[in-house]
Amino acid sequence: MSRLRSLLAGHWVALLCVVLVAVLGPVVPGFSSSANLRNVFSSLLPLLAVAVGQTLVLITGGIDLSVTAVVALASVLGARVMTADGGLLAGSPLAVPAAVALMLVIGLLVGTANGLSVSRLRMPPFLATLAVMTFVSGFAIWLTRSANIAGLPEGFRLLGAGSLGPAPAALLVVGPLALGVHLLLTRTVLGRWLFAVGGNARTARVSGVPVERVVLFAYVACAVCAAVASILYTARLETGSPVLGQRILLDVIGAVVIGGTSLFGGRGSVLGTVYGALFITLLDNGLNLMGLSSFAVLMVKGAVILAAALVDATRERLERGR
């Protein structure tokens, strides 16, 4: 039942996306052009990577505010390794693989810190990850003394800009990632455990679910997803930046929640998150193309998220009433 409901929620948002396209298409010049749809797609992918990770954490009933800091720290450290401007491995053929590996390891480490704080030290996720976010992003800025790092190797930049046939290279990263998490949630023991922990951690524990490890996994996976997004963002900008992703948190959580994942845990799906991220990206893109002033963009975005949540709440209430 619960899964059916979240599935409905996901499809409902897909419908919303279609409506958005139908409304904006004729009004906004260039909106339905293939170039623009490619833009939407390439903006969607890194956001989706972060959002998919966040979905895992929200399903366990937690929240991870530190994803933005992971994006930033991974970006500068990865760039440090491979930049032609005095990077550790500048010019080496190993530079790109080593940098990518390091970026993923950053995700692993920060995720472990989050996960242990929540599972082992029993800190409330909101504050634990808020503190980690503040620390890690401060650390990233301190490391670079505010400077951005350019001179990234061509091979790395291709991850952001390259394409294979019609598909952007990033799709080859995010597609399998999303599919993997989807299969994880729907087909594996670990997936069921994630839902169980979010549904009722006490019951899960009594039932032999290794609750602490499951929670730890969710935070680690979430941070690694953020690191993947960091790779894409960094490649796309051809720059390692200590403030990369500083402002994406609200988009990420907005996307996941619009996609029908519960903030209280136990409910959510990757498909829903895909739709949610698509919706946010389309909205952003459409508002951008309209060239509205920045305050109008803020207001419209806020109002649309609220309206989406309202429709979702109403729909759910109707379903419950039945």
Residues of this chain, 214-233, that bind another protein according to CB under 8 A: 233
Query: Counting contacts by CB under 8 A, is residue 206 touching another protein?
Result: yes
Candidate residues 15, 91, 142, 176; the one interacting with another protein per rule CB under 8 A? 142
Site for another protein in 244-263 (CB under 8 A): 244-248, 250, 253-254, 257, 263
Distances (CA, A) of 84 to 170, 217, 238: 23, 35, 12
Helix (H, G, I), strand (E, B) or coil at 16: helix
Binding test (CB under 8 A) with another protein, winner from 86, 166, 294, 318: 294
Provide the token pair at 67.
Answer: 């994803």
Report the alpha-carbon distance of residue 127 to residue 63 in Å, rounded. 9
φ/ψ (deg, to 5) at 240: -90, 125
Q: Which of residues 22, 23, 147, 164 is near another protein by CB under 8 A?
A: 147
Find the binding residues for another protein in span 152-191 (CB under 8 A): 160-161, 187-190
11 interacts with another protein by CB under 8 A: no
Residue 310 binds another protein (CB under 8 A): yes
Q: Which of 267, 257, 259 is nearest to 196 (CA)?
A: 267
Indicate the length of the chain as a whole number. Answer: 322
Q: Identify the residue among 54, 114, 137, 261 touching another protein (CB under 8 A).
A: 137
CB of 104: closest distance to another protein in angstroms?
19
Tell me the closest approach of the beta carbon of residue 292 to another protein, in angstroms. 8
Considering the rule CB under 8 A, would residue 46 count as an interface residue with another protein?
yes
What are all long-range contacts of 119-123, with beta carbons under 8 Å and residues at least 24 apart? 119/211, 119/212, 119/213, 119/215, 119/216, 119/219, 120/212, 120/216
Question: What Cα–Cα distance (Å) separates residue 292 from each residue in 39, 128, 145, 239, 319?
Answer: 19, 37, 35, 28, 37
Alpha-carbon distance of 218 to 69, in angstroms, equals 17
- If binding is defined by CB under 8 A, does position 109 make contact with another protein? no
Number of residues counted as binding another protein (CB under 8 A):
107
Q: DSSP code of 244? A: T
List the one residue from 15, 22, 93, 146 that touches another protein (CB under 8 A): 146
According to the binding rule CB under 8 A, does residue 10 interact with another protein? no
45 or 104: whose CB is closer to another protein?
45
Near another protein by CB under 8 A: residue from 21, 39, 97, 169: 39
Question: Is 295 an interacting residue with respect to another protein (CB under 8 A)?
Answer: yes
Q: Residue 145 CB, nearest distance to another protein (Å)?
A: 7
Among residue numbers 79 through 98, which ones bind another protein (CB under 8 A)? none
Burial class (CB in 10 A: 0-12, 13-18, 19+), 165: exposed
Instruction: Quote the Cα angle for 58-59-65, to 5°.
Output: 15
- Give min distance, CB of 100 to another protein, in A: 18
Task: Choose one: 12-20, 91-99, 117-125, 173-181; the region binding another protein (CB under 8 A).
Answer: 117-125
* Nearest-approach distance from CB 244 to another protein, in angstroms: 7
Pairing of strands 167-168, 163-164: antiparallel
DSSP codes of every residue in 164-182:
ETTEEHHHHHHHHHHHHHH
Given the complex with another protein, which of 51 and 196 has the nearer CB atom?
Answer: 196
